[in-house]
Structure 1
Amino acid sequence: MSERPTVIAIEGLTKRFGEITAVDAVDLDLRENEFFALLGPSGCGKTTLLRMIAGFTGPDAGRILLDGRDMTPVRPNRRPVNLMFQSYALFPHMTVTQNIAYGLEMEGCGRDEIRRRVGEMLEMTELSPLKDRKPEHLSGGQRQRVALARALVKRPRVLLLDEPLGALDKKLREQMQLELKRMQHEVGITFVIVTHDQEEALVMADRIAVLKDGRVMQVGAPRELYEYPASRFVAGFIGKMNFFAGQGRGAEVAFGDGVLTGTAPGGVELAGPAVAAVRPERLRLAPQRPEGSLNAVPGRIVDIAYHGQDLNVHVEVRGAVDSAGGEAGARVLVRLPAGEAEEGDWQAGQDVWCCWAPAHTRVLAM
């Protein structure tokens, strides 16, 4: 698939609050009709970045281009973007229809045009049966859809969403993730979402920017970030990851009495402290070391947790560390599918070997 044209280009964007640099020289391109996620821990600068795109916060340096036009000095109400807040900010005294129509009325649209466009939004968001209700008589998911319809009815070039699913329970969040993705495809505009939920970003986004301390650590498609993280931070932040600490030697890590082989970001030859990173679902257990296995470490099962569709086996391995560099109780997580778990009949206290393929190993600097 050919690369989509850029809608918003962010160049060297920087924002400081006193001595704190919230956004630090960020460069990003947001493309036509894509679902883009700004992902990172609390305080990483993602909401500040979103507010600068919307125009509610001014940058200290850098600029924001929309379709090649510098939007940095343009006021929020003059930008072809719309920001949907986590609180939804619906008018409690208005019906669903009136809430959706409000923005068009403020723009002076004709009555027939408002009726037609609001009707389209009611149908697309499946709110037609609820059009005469007020927000107090709607569920959390229904209020979320009203806020989304109100934002989309104005046909913005880009829709910005700040933690839009944060107030919903887990089951409803999962349902609305798919709903948001469906609507984005139907309306065909660029969505930019701020979230700290890794699974949410992986499910919805076409591309993700991972932020830390105001800087972009890596940008890529969900599978790229999950399978090929460029740094230890990204590897540890997105999903579960096991780390085996040792000395880097090219694309290998000296670990225990042997070496663990993998690939390094960009083919960089590492030297010095490094980790071999591998996902829990890539590990397999064996009672003895399999012949010809390149990556294998001995350990002892300390805990087993049943999750229905899979089994989480915690194995004590000397030299394993957590994502922050601590000893993590020297534990490694092995995630086995239910069928494979039944065949193994693993027990706590059992001595085992954790084995995996070099293709599933990422060698990263400490």
Structure 2
Amino acid sequence: MQKLSIKTSTNQYQVMIGSGLRFRVSDFLTRSYSSILIVTDSNIEELYLHDVIAGLSTFTNINYTVVPAGEGSKNSRVYFDIMTEAIQSGLDRDGLIIALGGGMIGDLAGFVAATFMRGIDFIQMPTTILAHDSSVGGKVAINHPEGKNLIGSFYPPQAVIYDLDTLQTLPLTEMRSGYAEIAKHSMIHQPSFWQDISKVKIRLPLNEDQLMQDLLRGIEVKAAIVEQDERESNIRQYLNFGHTLGHALEAELGYGRITHGEAVALGMLFAIKVSEHVFNCSLPYTEFKEWLKDNHYPISLPALSKQHLLTRMKRDKKAKKQTIQFVLLKELGQPTIEHIEDQHMLVWLEEFFRELVSF
């Protein structure tokens, strides 16, 4: 088992990564809880829920709730339903919520924990590669029809328990989604390790040693940034590389049409193209595009209104005074934040989507 310590201005917690950890959850709890509510989804329930319950054998008051799998469940109705179940199950301020699932479950259950009785403890138990990013850093949220993660908070977990065994049942779609975020970390880190990630072939079965190494590097990048800027007032915004267009694509297509990581991958490709325009630099645009193609990321999209995408980007949490703030690269490993004018953005969007059609 590998351990990483995350220390921020408001909390310190451990990230544990290894095999079989779902059977040992009690070993990682630092206090006794009056009751536990496990929040999971319909895919994970059959696979791992009862393993986790078995790993909590020292606790007697354990309840669980299951939401439909997919990003569509990260909404106000499901959030309120979980709140009702928490109240009816007898969860109180000395209780614990366990988020068992991918990034959607982590965000949703974390937001429930942040707001239930003004905040109770929760633990992240990610079951996807993508969640190596979302489970670390304390950002929790639900979506609004007008945009992704617009209703949320900063609320760090008490621990992250990452059982690598749960990744062996991932479909290739989810593997691609997760590796997009690892690729993001590889490009914004100094020194960049994109050349290592560019050699990854996303195939089944997973190479556990390779995966452990890539996950650790990704988490270390995020941890280092979060420790310096917990509430996204400065360099934490670099972690949004690829997310401005990515979030707009998710909302415009309808949540769940493509995965978060697949949308971010396209957003990163676009951000690289914009970076080359703004800084007149040479970045691995073609190389990254070929990597996406070789690993079967969805490149072809239905016709989308560029004006609608622009409007959604201007509603993004990072936008200021209705001006898009875009994370760009001066070169690999050197992210920066730039204001992009609407007229330039529309021209570059049009150019970018024309290239996707011909790719």
- Given the two structures, how large is their TM-score scaled by the length of structure 2? 0.35
Which structure has the highest strand share of the two? 1
Q: Which has the larger radius of gyration?
A: 1
